[in-house]
Amino acid sequence: MPRTPDDVHRSVRQAVADRADALWDVALRLHADPEPAFAEHRAAALLTGELERAGFEVEHGVAGMPTAFIARSGGHRPTVALLMEYDALPGLGHACGHNLIAAAGLGAALALRAVPEASAGTVLAVGTPAEEGGGGKVLEVEAGVFDGVDAALMFHPGVYDWARAPLTAQVQYRVAFHGRAAHPTGNPTEGVDALAALVELFNVLGVLGRRLPEGSHVQGIVTHGGTATNIVPDHAEGRFGLRAATTGALEELAERLRVCADGIALATGTTAEVERATVRYEHFRDSAPLSERFAAHLSRSGIRLTPPEPGVYLGSSDVGNVSTRLPAIHPFVAITGPEKSDHTPEFAEAAASPRAREVLLAVTAALACTAVDVLLSPGLREEAWRRHQEGNGGRD
């Protein structure tokens, strides 16, 4: 006689509980040995070793990245992907809590492997390097890793308990101005000051910034400003980070940057180069049916998720690029209070705290139960895809 969904959920939660110490050990080992983007060799080896021992078929070096992997259990649709991040911040370690993201994805995958109902489809544990600026998920999307996947699930530790992630679109551009060198005293009229053009770009962008819509901003730095004070700089260069509430708004902002640079070049007699310097992170599109299911499962542990506070954005992530292709969730679950911030030493400390352990186990069970629902409920999958195809995952 087939078991009821409640029976399956109980089995999944028990499978997570049975692995509680082992999962926390993985989280602490990652925390104690942080590795930066695209260099997470020991982290990838640790995670794939655990998955291989559990019977997953592991593919290494996915999408041309040595530290990316796919661990597979099953071989037919429906398919659910559990996403794992494990890169750390240089100088700060796991100050974004990726050690917990990796352990949660691992634990959910192992729990699903332990229940027979998961054989109704395919479970993927996807190792995604370099979220902190490198865009591992972007490369995986482009390589077709998520083709044929019905849902992508992950969580992120934070300072709020929010059911969905207000993550903006983000990209960086390199802007270079080329002028003509000259001695500023001997022949000042012969010089064309490239640095002055770059400084003027900062001024213009400062004015533009006061008129940008909510969620949009430009932040720049000078990466080259000349070689000597007695030479008019013939080359100056800056890097500009652009963010916007939507990917469309980001494209418009990038075009404004280009127009500003070209206009300044025309006015100053320089020439301008504007080129994208990084992969583009698209804004996150939450799947309402899946995030609501996750929140319901998580509430069994006493953690209540709420909608995000209007007007508050929490940065950007390459999971946005996944969410444009298929239904996805990326809730935030607090491991510290809202008076703190991630990307700080204090948050790195919190990622190995007793509260982090409690959150890890609660989230792992909720992810695994949500994944089971995706595999066993055609209605949930159909609703998630319908809302996804309507645009923005069913949320404005």
Tokens of 345: 């030493």
Report the pLDDT averaged over residues 217-226.
97
Asked if residue 123 lies in contact with residue 113, where contact means CB atoms within 8 angstroms, the answer is yes
d(CA 143, CA 155): 23
In this structure, what are the phi and psi dihedrals at residue 191, rounded to the nearest 5 degrees? -80, 145
Confidence of residue 396 (pLDDT cuts 50, 70, 90): very low
| pLDDT tens column, 83-102 | 999 999 999 999 999 999 99
Domain 169-276 class in CATH: alpha beta
Residue 185: predicted pLDDT: 87
Report the pLDDT averaged over residues 137-162.
98
Report the pLDDT averaged over residues 31-42.
98
Report the pLDDT averaged over residues 5-27.
97
Are 5-167+284-394 and 169-276 the same fold in CATH?
no
Report the pLDDT averaged over residues 56-77.
97
Domain assignments of the chain as residue spans, ordered by start: 5-167+284-394, 169-276
Residue 188: predicted pLDDT: 81
Nearest 10 degrees: CA dihedral of 287, 292, 295, 297? -110
Over 80: is that where the pLDDT of 392 sits? no
Confidence of residue 1 (pLDDT cuts 50, 70, 90): low
Residue 17: predicted pLDDT: 98
| pLDDT tens column, 302-357 | 999 999 998 888 889 999 999 999 999 999 999 999 989 999 999 999 999 999 99
Confidence of residue 391 (pLDDT cuts 50, 70, 90): confident
Report the pLDDT averaged over residues 153-175.
96
Report the range of poorest mean pLDDT among 131-145, 280-294, 308-322, 362-376. 308-322
Q: Whose CA is closest to 83, among 125, 122, 136?
A: 125
Q: Which residues of 185-206 are buried (b: 16+ CB within 10 A; e: fewer)?
A: eeeeeebbbbbbbbbbbeebbe
CATH pick for 5-167+284-394 out of 3.40.630.10, 2.60.40.790, 3.30.70.3340, 3.40.50.2000: 3.40.630.10
Q: Whose CA is closest to 351, among 85, 22, 101, 106?
A: 101
Report the range of poorest mean pLDDT among 2-6, 20-24, 292-296. 2-6
Which residues, including other chains, have CB under 8 Å from residue 176's CB and lie 6 or more apart? 224, 235, 236, 237, 238, 272, 273
Report the pLDDT averaged over residues 349-371.
98
